[in-house]
Structure formats: C-alpha cells, structure tokens
Chain A
C-alpha cells in the first residue's frame, strides 16, 4: 500500500470562529498558556489560530474567519533553511519538527509565509493544577526551540500501531486518528484524511472543490477559477508551496457570490 499523504480540508463556510479547535490543540499538544503579555509582545504560541477579518462598514459588518495551521507544504520554505535538518518532510506528507534536533536559529519561522511556526521564548509554565493534564504522548518543549502543528502525529502513530496490532487498515475519519482540532470542531469545518487514498473524504472534497484530487497532481491548478461552484483554494497559493491543506471559500448567500478571502 502506498504511503499515506495526510492533509486537511478546511471549510471557511462552516467555521463559526468559536476557537474550540485552538483550545483542543492547546490541550492536546502541551502548549503553554498564552498570557496577555505574550500577545502584546507578539510571541504567543498557537499551533492553530483563527484569523478574523471584518467585511463591510458598520452596521452591515460581517465577520470572516480563517483557521490557519501549519500547511504541511510539499515545497515547504521552512525545510531547506534549517541548518540541522530539524525540520523535514517525511514519507507520509508531514512536515516534521524534531524538537531534540532543533537548535533555535528561527530561520524556518522567518521563511514561513503562513506564520505558523512558533518559538519558545520562555520556559513553558502551567499552573500546578494543570500540570497533571499534560499529554504524556507529546514532548514538552523547552525554551529555545521551534514548534508548530504536527497534524497530531502522536495520534497518527498510535492509530497506526493499533491497526498493525489488530491487522486492520486505518479507517478514514476515525476519531482516534483525527487531530484534536478536527475532533473539537463542532461544525465539521475541519476534515482530516489521506490524500493518497482516492476514497477518503478529503480526496473527494478536493476533487470536487479544487478540480483535481490525489497527491502531487497540480496540473489543473487554475481549473477552478473558471467554475464558480468550485470553492477550493490554497492559502497564498501564488508562493507555490503546494500545501497539504485545502481551503473552501465562504459562500455569501446574501450577495449570491462566492468570495475568496
């Protein structure tokens, strides 16, 4: 069987901006609590964040949300700049961050156009009452190293192990496999799966909304522009990073147009 190519489809139309995914990620991945101070210094750690845009003038103002997480780009700008190979692409389409190899040069964060790489400027701290809820499957990163969304690789590895043990194949959309943010999303705005499996939900959505499915198939890249009903796009597509995350445009029913943010 071919290696999986993990990816995600994010439907901006369904996202309500509730931030449940952010909290889910925060607690799954032992991310320290961001205080006001961290935000004013522009140094919060949020592996997934909700970007909020206002559209229109008051009182006809509309809020627009885009969940932004590591795009696990196939041509990632962060990978070649790392002097110690602490970030690389593995055979499952994941952009991997190896914490114990990272020496904290922050080159990768400067290279990332999506601003999803976060540096630990401080030793992570939790209130005593929260120390016991740290996830034992995830490393607690120390000061001085880079971190970012891993597509919850600990969950992928666990599911893989379980399926090998029980001689079953990995089920598409399995809650054991799904990243914390996907499980946390109440509106199913986030969908996770294997782009190498044409039967998976993400492949079907990608094919329907982007005009081409499957891994590495970027031939029909501009095809969707002609068809209004196709909502798929990549974030900052023009940089040619070939992300593994597909976004679906918001549908504005009032103006009856499809808008791309």
Chain B
C-alpha cells in the first residue's frame, strides 16, 4: 500500500443516512427544475409536452358532438358573427333556449342553462382560443379566404379559387390534388380549430403561435406585412 493513498473506509451509518437524504433532495430539486425547463422550452418551441393540461372544463358541459355531429347544426348557426366580423361570437343564452325550453328535460346541464336563463344571467364560458392583445385576428377574412368553390392544389398560384392540399385535408379527409371542393363557411373552421364536431370538450389543436400564422400566410399567398395583424 502506498502511504498517503486514498483509503476507502466505510462511513458511519448516520453519515450514510444523511448522504442519502441529501442525495434524494438534490435529485428532486433537479427533476423539478428539469420539468419546469422542459415545460418552458417546449411551449416556447411548440406545444408544452409536460403539464399540457386537458381541455378546460366549462360551466355547462356543451357537447359539440351532439349538436354538430348528431344533430348536424352548422357552425354559423350559433357562431353567427364568424362570417361578418373579427370575432366568431358566442351565442346568447336565448339562442340555446329556443330549443331548450322544450328539449332536454331531466338533464342536469340543461337545468343549469335554464336556471341561468331564468336569472337573466350570462354563461361564463372558459375561453379556449385566445390571441394575445397585440394580435388582430379577423375571422371573416379567413373564412372568406377558404370558402367557396376551390381547386385543390399543391402550391397556391391563384388565391381566389384554390386551396392547398394541407388545408383541404382538414376539410375533407380524402381530398386529392386536382379535385374541386365546394366549401361552405362552416367547412373552413376545421383548418385551425380541428374537428370540433368530434370534441366532447373543446380543446386547442394548433399552437396558434406567430410562426404558425406566418407559415400559413406565406404558403397561402397572404400578406406578411406586420400591419396585417399588429396595430
């Protein structure tokens, strides 16, 4: 044995326990920091891959599945402003009540609705899609851009009567290049909102980050000047 060399001697038991405890605390701290960093970095790049959360709970469970998929209501039946202005608009309680004074007896959710209506109150929906304050998103212009009779193409050459395959596929699953689609105003919603008719609770499907907007604008021959959206 070389004198002065490192000699391993087993540490006493209480020191071992202390080391163990410190090590576990260190590991937990590291894991928490790593998770937070992952959340921030991933949500910066795209959607968060941790703590992403589910679709938010609404004060009244409104199943788009029943109203759109089963009953076949058009999106614009309730979101009336979507073809007329900036915001798509949430319908007034009165519109719900035009059916639900008669329909849906016995359901707790509809009782909640009737109670709100009786109190002349409004439903405090939880907002799912929210643009930052410095962004002007005009639904009307986007609906107009994608609706009508449109030819499915790979690359846009005439933005007045064409639609890209990527967008066309969200409207009609089996769309092919060269096909002509007749797209109603409500057909265009799925491009950004996904297939809401299949959602029991509405959730956000696209990141709706600026890169998302700008990529789409570039590929669809739409203006990319800052004043298009920011003013």
B-binding residues in A (CB < 8 A): 88, 90-92, 94, 96, 98-101, 136-140, 150, 153-154, 157, 161, 165
Q: Does A139 lie within 8 Å of B231, measured CB to CB? A: yes
> Assuming the A-B contacts A154-B231, A161-B138, are A140 and B133 also in contact, with contact meaning beta carbons closer than 8 angstroms in the complex?
yes
Q: Does A100 lie within 8 Å of B144, measured CB to CB? A: no
Q: How far is the CA of A215 from the CA of B134 in the complex (A)?
A: 31
Q: Which of B140, B141, B231 contacts A153 (CB 8 A)?
A: B231
> Assuming the A-B contacts A150-B231, A154-B231, A157-B231, are A96 and B226 also in contact, with contact meaning beta carbons closer than 8 angstroms in the complex?
yes
Task: Kindly list the 9 A-B residue pairs having the minimum CB-CB distance in the complex, ordered from nearest.
Answer: A100-B134, A139-B134, A98-B226, A153-B231, A90-B225, A154-B231, A153-B227, A98-B230, A96-B227
Indicate whether B132 reaches chain A with its CB closer than 8 angstroms. Answer: yes
**In whole Å, how far is B160's beta carbon from the nearest beta carbon of chain A?**
10
Indicate whether B206 reaches chain A with its CB closer than 8 angstroms. Answer: no
Q: Does A139 lie within 8 Å of B230, measured CB to CB? A: yes
Which residue of chain B has the shortest Cβ distance to A88 in the bound complex? B226
Q: How far is the CA of A153 from the CA of B138 in the complex (A)?
A: 15
Q: Which of B133, B141, B144 contacts A139 (CB 8 A)?
A: B133
Taking CB atoms, residues of chain B closer than 8 Å to A101 are 226
Taking CB atoms, residues of chain B closer than 8 Å to A92 are 227
Taking CB atoms, residues of chain B closer than 8 Å to A138 are 231
20 A–B contacts from the bound complex (CB under 8 Å): A88-B226, A90-B227, A92-B227, A96-B227, A98-B226, A99-B230, A100-B132, A100-B230, A101-B226, A137-B231, A139-B134, A139-B230, A140-B133, A153-B227, A153-B231, A154-B136, A154-B231, A157-B227, A161-B140, A165-B140
- Apart from A90-B225, A90-B227, A157-B136: 5 A-B pairs, beta carbons within 8 A: A96-B227, A100-B132, A138-B231, A139-B230, A157-B227
Taking CB atoms, residues of chain A closer than 8 Å to B86 are 136-137
* Count of inter-chain pairs, beta carbons less than 8 A: 42
**In whole Å, how far is B83's beta carbon from the nearest beta carbon of chain A?**
10
Which applies to chain A's interface (DSSP): helix, strand, loop or mixed? loop
Which residue of chain B has the shortest Cβ distance to A86 in the bound complex? B226
Which residue of chain B has the shortest Cβ distance to A99 in the bound complex? B134
Q: How far is the CA of A94 from the CA of B231 in the complex (A)?
A: 12
Q: How far is the CA of A99 from the CA of B140 in the complex (A)?
A: 24
**In whole Å, how far is A141's beta carbon from the nearest beta carbon of chain B?**
9
Which residue of chain A has the shortest Cβ distance to B138 in the bound complex? A161
Q: How far is the CA of A139 from the CA of B136 in the complex (A)?
A: 9
Pick the most buried of A136, A150, A157: most chain B CB atoms within 10 A of its CB.
Answer: A157
> Assuming the A-B contacts A100-B132, A140-B133, A153-B231, are A90 and B138 also in contact, with contact meaning beta carbons closer than 8 angstroms in the complex?
no
Q: How far is the CA of A34 from the CA of B104 in the complex (A)?
A: 55
**In whole Å, how far is A165's beta carbon from the nearest beta carbon of chain B?**
7
Which residue of chain A has the shortest Cβ distance to B228 in the bound complex? A157
**In whole Å, how far is B18's beta carbon from the nearest beta carbon of chain A?**
48
Q: How far is the CA of A154 from the CA of B229 in the complex (A)?
A: 10
Taking CB atoms, residues of chain B closer than 8 Å to A157 are 136, 227-228, 231
Q: How far is the CA of A94 from the CA of B225 in the complex (A)?
A: 11
Which residue of chain A has the shortest Cβ distance to B225 in the bound complex? A90
Which residue of chain B has the shortest Cβ distance to A98 in the bound complex? B226
Taking CB atoms, residues of chain B closer than 8 Å to A137 are 86, 136, 231
